[in-house]
Structure 1
């Protein structure tokens, strides 16, 4: 670091009122957990991730005994884990301090010794994993490209290598067929699919829908000998379901009369699909019968489904939350009985405010936003924070968020904009940012900002822009290209200097950037210059806080320092929060420290503290 940057101020407390202070912290500390996953042939052997210890770690749950135990215990947490099909082993990804670079290890489902999972595979960024009884396939990405390995009968061999992005996708139930996703055509954002025979790894079938139309392999049928592969396609402008019989080379498009987009998984007998439907920030569940094409709603409350799977007896287990109500893990039996399945130990999170929809006409079409107003707010305009989601191919949802809730408690309205680039609104909306990323999204943010001011919701002198990852990038770009709109900014783990970021980031993201920008910084330098926050640093007026992790492979630290060094030469208040982790933190205490610093910074910048 060439310049000493002003450190962030971390307050002892955000609120003078003791009850309010305890409430916002309790939402972060409240124990949460993911939907449990189980071993294919041993459904009593389950794993999930939870923050019950104060750090997100992997847990094992033996349903036959009811015993729960923490599997991993690492300073910066663990998120990625799975089980072997026989339930004997738990596999988890072992990186260093959140840098996402490492290898798979495994340990017995009952406590035991940790060992290398696949001998002969070098460290790298994860690019898919499929575990069978006899066949294991694992993908690794490095700066040189992608490599896929198979471990069969005690021997490991590389069966695929490419300078382009590729990953292991699905192994057939009888372990004869392996599906991979690849971008040999040069566009990792719209991948193609290849199926290989595990006996020799010759190609059995290839499928690509052409330029701008991706195919996503989801999973093979769970029935041995059934070569049907469930996939997503986007032939009609949005993601839909496709069943491909790989060996017969026939396909069935599953057309559902549902707006928005879908994902799915097989029921255990491969006679039906569990469909997760996403539309305008909310999700719901359906059963689709493959014999007669009947689509049946599995009634769930309005909100967000965070994960769902079908047990061998047909019970659907899923996580659910809404903006007002915290996450619960529920089970819906085949007869329609719906009940809470699991409750983590400890007190649940205090509730928060609901969100309402806003639809605003923007330059590229109707923009959807989720809006929450603070409880007991006075009539008239209020301070407002625009929180911009990451991705960019993601979306804000009607889900519980302790982060949203603390801004509301601090007196801010919260607006979440599903700008162009967001998923769930069709392929054209998602891909509209190609060739001009960042600036396109901010046109939609500006339209929603205008609406919020004109409608009387937002105080135009007290609008804050905030985001993490791609949202952090948009935040820095916003204060440089829209300096008169924003009174303060909070940018976490951002892209700040896009050329330097491209040089230092993981290869998977470089491939993504080439597809998004239309090339590399060497081939389309003007696009990278026009879309980089560093280009506009001289125009910044608003006080800004930047947060960054030392080990972040997605938004590396050097390019953030480049931006801050330039900002330091300006007469603009700013603060820098630097921490020892990667692209965000899995440690709850650290998340609380960062959140307190962010909100406190905004309150001071707006003269509210």
Structure 2
């Protein structure tokens, strides 16, 4: 049997996995070129791929935080740079792909929430401490504020007439509405097909908006005429899409006269053009498909056991790998079967979960419950370096999509609103129970681990359910909701209000610091120094109480780092202390 071995082996395994680059396609540029975001050279940057020659070229020298979707008729990209050492105050830059000319957008540093461009302008929403604002910039760098939105809102598209986006715009934390800003009239309009429904991601074609909505039940695609108010459900020529019956959509747009979509169910994606499935590898498509003039499409794909790589799917369905990315064989051989399962929680609710077994651990053996962040996110069948590292280091991984996770319908997602740290915490405990009852993990040999909301859930789990865990690892955690609220900017105050459905009386009850005296298991706390989402200050107060109470813990503060992991060095700062802690306390 292959074993994880020594501390040196843990370091070697992590190094081999962290060094595997990520790739996320941004779509097609003129002349069949593909824009990508990748950390191929150690930091997240903007890259250009020529599918014919397979040549990859880095376009900017500095680490970037995000970039706009590419447009097939525009040889420019807009990207954001964090100018506050990880605190997510962004400056925007417009890059001419052909000349390399870079223009800074004349807007104050702010947390950018949504960004889009066309050949004439750049639109974005951004948050400051005072509120959320809608901006319009030109390619020469000039910029003006168009409106104060003061709600969680994201721009998704812009053309010569309209800016489109979506957000929580009518005060109901359980619904999302669309917004359209008329650039000629200077008016902002909010639209929903049904009050209380969830409507997301409008993409423009003239005065038509293609968007996802659940107003008729399941998430489906609709077209709305901004000019005359007509609404129709998108119908497809082919039946593959309807047979798949997706739960949600990662992305959609027009290609030629047809609508394409990356549809999702049970944590895996499929690509459809006018309802016909385009064959793709099992796992998930990340980013935006890049359709080329010959009818082929370039995709970035991955799975829980296959790192991100770039493929080209031809019209005949054949697949060509353009950029390969492989786990070293000796490390891959340690990672066992991947399973998608569902289990019943405390109240009978069915909870979906991905299970990744380790070939280096017996059954039952040592295990980890991996708690994803968000909470509006999910563990899908796509690459996560921590999950791969945990399995390679000898731990069976249970990764539940607790109530509130995305990807399983709006009713499931809404269950956490007004109840964070309630039913979702029970779902996490029942994931561990499933592992024990099904002979995968051994009672008394299970750790909880998570980052962001997952870090919060870990701290809460060790305080409210101390008998369940041998140890815990919490990264970028929320320790005190009340203090975090006071330290947050406008958008994160709105986020907290939305998550709690305005129930501020729950802040103390659902804060880990309230239960710090109940913690029994050793804790590893890893916190970025400049995190503006989950600030360091409340975590230090939590740690101070651990110290006063004589608890066993270790604290790692990642210097000059924010909430988002942007470089391979950032990843090591978070993952290495976690794995060494598990080696020490879980074996």
CA–CA distance in 2 between the matches of 1:542 and 1:34? 38
Cross-structure match for 1:268: 255
Alignment of 1:48-127 (within 5 A): 48-61=36-49, 68-74=56-62, 78-81=65-68, 87-96=74-83, 97-110=85-98, 112=100, 114-117=102-105, 119=106, 121-127=107-113
Q: 1:452 Cα shift? A: 1.6
1:347 deviates by 7.8
**Alpha-carbon distance in 2 for matches of 1:196, 1:36:** 24
TM-score normalised by L of structure 2: 0.90
Q: Determine if the alignment matches structure 1 residue 247 to structure 2 residue 227.
A: yes
Q: Verify the 8 A CA contact 2:403 2:427 in the aligned structure 1.
A: yes
Is the Cα–Cα contact under 8 Å of residues 281 and 398 in structure 1 kept in the other structure?
yes
Would the aligned equivalents of 2:156 and 2:164 in 1 still touch at CA under 8 Å?
A: yes
Which residue in 1 is equivalent to 2:317?
A: 336
1:43-71 per-residue CA deviation (whole Å, 9 max, x = no partner) reads 44542122221222222345688653323
Structure 1 residue 469 and structure 2 residue 456: aligned? no
Q: Give secondary structure in 1 for the equivalent of 2:505.
A: helix
Does 2:15 correspond to 1:25? yes
> In the TM superposition, what is the alpha-carbon distance from 1:99 to its structure 2 partner?
1.8
After superposition, give the CA deviation of every residue in 1:126-148 in whole Å (9 maximum; x if it has no partner).
13223233333232211111111
Kept after mapping to 2: 8 A contact 1:145/1:165 = no
Alignment of 1:150-229 (within 5 A): 150-151=136-137, 156-172=143-159, 175-187=160-172, 190-203=175-188, 206-221=190-205, 226-229=206-209
Unaligned runs of 5+ in 2: 236-241
Q: Which residue of 1 aligns with 2:390?
A: 407
1:284-327: per-residue Cα shift (whole Å, max 9, x none)?
22222xxxxxx322222322222341414332222222222222
Q: Which residue of 1 aligns with 2:238?
A: none
Partner SS state of residue 73, structure 1: coil
Offset of residue 184 of structure 1: 3.5
CA distance, structure 1, for counterparts of residue 551 and residue 217 of structure 2: 44
Residue aligning to 1:588: 568
**8 Å Cα contact 2:360-2:393 kept in structure 1:** no
Give CA-to-partner distance per residue, 1:402-440, whole Å, 9 cap, x none: 311222222211100011001111111111111111222
Structure 2 CA distance for aligned equivalents of residues 244 and 477 of structure 1: 44
Whole-angstrom CA distance in 2 between matches of 1:81 and 1:262: 19
**1:497–1:562 contact (8 Å) kept in structure 2:** no
**CA root-mean-square deviation:** 2.7
Q: Is the 8 A contact 2:174 2:417 kept in 1?
A: no
For the residues of structure 1 that align with 2:76 and 2:278, how far apart are their CA atoms?
Answer: 33
Q: Partner of 2:351 in structure 1? A: 367
Instruction: Please tell me whether the aligned partners of residues 490 and 546 of structure 1 are also in contact (alpha carbons under 8 angstroms).
Output: yes
Contact 1:308 1:316 in 2 (8 A): no
Aligned equivalent of 1:285: 271
Q: What residue is the counterpart of 2:296 in the other structure? A: 315
Question: 1:488 Cα shift?
Answer: 0.2
Aligned to 2:337, the other structure's residue is in SS state coil
Residues 349-393 of structure 1, C-alpha deviations (whole Å, 9 max, x = no match)? 953433112221112511111112211533x42011000001111
What SS class does the counterpart of residue 525 from structure 1 fall into?
A: coil
Shift of 1:493: 0.4
Provide closer, same or farther for how the CA distance between residues 416 and 347 of structure 1 changes in structure 2, counting only shifts above 3 A: closer
CA distance in 1, matches of 2:330, 2:113: 34
Q: Is the 8 A contact 1:308 1:317 kept in 2?
A: no
User: Is the CA contact (8 Å cut-off) linking 1:442 and 1:474 kept in structure 2?
Assistant: yes
Distance in 2, Cα, partners of 1:349 & 1:111: 44
Matches within 5 A, 1:451-490: 451-490=434-473
User: Within the alignment, does 1:560 sit opposite 2:544 as a pair?
Assistant: no
Quick one: distance in 2 between partners of 1:596 and 1:346? 18
Structure 1 residues not aligned, in runs of 5+: 1-13, 289-294
CA contact (8 A) 2:27 2:290 kept: no
Separation (CA, whole Å) in 2 of partners of 1:43 and 1:439? 52
TM norm structure 1: 0.87
How many residues end up aligned between the 2 structures? 570
Deviation at 1:166, TM superposition (A): 2.9
